[in-house]
Amino acid sequence: MNEETKHSVLVVDDEITNVEALGHILGPIYTVYTADNGQTAIEAAEKYLPDIILLDVLMPEMDGYDAFPALKSSKKTQNIPVIFITGLDSDEDEEKGLNLGAVDYITKPFSIANVRLRVKHQIETFEQLRSVEQLKMIDQLTGLPNRQSFETWLGGEWEKAIQDQMPISILFTNVDKFKDYNENYGHAQGDMALQTLAKLFTETLNPGNFAARWGSDEFVTLLPNTNIKGALEMAEIMRKNVEKMEIPCVEGLGEKITVSTGINTVHSQNVSIDEFVSGADVALFRAKQEGRNRVFHSLAQFPDTR
């Protein structure tokens, strides 16, 4: 396994001999980062985002018991498993650490086999849980992120847009007369249309854009750092590409589809995130009112950009 594919471990201990010992035990298998007290552990964890943290209990300035709640309260580090390492070996000490939420407890002096086995077990468990969580965030039909995943992404990009004072745009795209398409060609062909549309979104969008399936035949796209003009241009590119799109079917090519898109853009973020989303939804309704197969922006009179 090369350096880039190694899992990583953050070792936190104020005793250099312990750090060196754990580095010797884990270094051949993992990328090892180090910190010598609770505060530097928090900083290192947020910087490196290790797969697991080995946290000493007794340290100066901020000990492990104080650092642990801080690690779990940070969005960046709250899901990283923590193993307490300590010379305290009473049942009460171990119970205290586990009650805080640590996944395991290793006592000193270290056993090479014991340390490696416990770290390996926790990393494998974490990877399995992460895979399950990732599956929950993916729409199984289209392979795109689902609504839950989009809302998580939106929250982060919304905060970033406010912090950087940059524009952010959102697009709601709906397949025109999708119910009729399903009735005419069958639900299997309808599923194929949605899958083909999702693939087109993935191929069309710029890096940093984020598309997801909102539900049924509706898709949502987030365009960070994108103003009204940029959002309109992207929506129009997507609309034209859908018009030209060929949908595979058993007998060759299925009937073509078109889409309508509603757009909302904010810059000053003087609206709520719910108002930001609903603005695009209202604009989508207007696009359909205007005759479908077109884009409409909530903040400008562009009912038809063709």
The structure's pTM equals: 0.61
Most confident of 100-104, 161-165, 240-244: 240-244
Instruction: Please tell me whether residue 173 adopts helix, strand or coil conformation.
Output: strand
51 with 80: CB under 8 angstroms? yes
Cβ neighbours of residue 42 closer than 8 Å, sequence gap 6 or more: 67, 70, 71, 74, 77
- Judged against a pLDDT cut of 90, whether residue 97 lies above it is answered with no
Q: Determine contact, residues 267/167, Cβ cutoff 8 Å.
A: yes
CA distance 141 to 224: 26
The architecture in CATH of the region 147-297 reads 2-Layer Sandwich (3.30)
**Residue pLDDT, tens place only, 265-277:** 998 778 999 999 9
The tokens describing 27, both together, are: 């270094």
Give the torsion sign (CA, 284, 290, 294, 298). Answer: negative
* In the predicted structure, residue 305 carries a pLDDT above the cut 50: no
Q: What is the location of CATH 3.40.50.2300 in the chain?
A: 3-136
* Residues ≥6 apart with Cβ < 8 Å to 151: none
- The residue with greater pLDDT, 247 or 134, is 247
Of 108, 130, 106, the C-alpha closest to 118 is: 106
CATH 3.30.70.270 boundaries in the chain = 147-297
- In terms of CATH, what superfamily is 3-136? Response regulator (3.40.50.2300)
For residue 93, name the pLDDT band (cuts at 50, 70, 90): low
**What CA–CA distance (Å, rounded) separates 269 from 122?**
42
236, pLDDT greater than 60: yes
Nearest 10 degrees: CA dihedral of 288, 197, 194, 274?
A: -50
Look over the chain and give the mean of its residue pLDDT values, rounded to a whole number: 88
SS3 state of residue 220: strand
Q: What is the tens place of the pLDDT at every residue in 3-45?
A: 456 899 999 999 999 999 999 999 999 999 999 999 999 999 9
Residue-wise pLDDT for 211-235, tens only, equals: 999 999 999 999 999 999 999 999 9
Residue 293 has pLDDT above 90, yes or no: yes
SS3 assignment, position 158: helix
CA distances from 163 to 149, 158, 223, 242, 266 (A): 22, 9, 16, 35, 13
Structure tokens at 148: 């839950």
- Cα–Cα distance for residue pair 272/292, rounded to 1 Å: 28
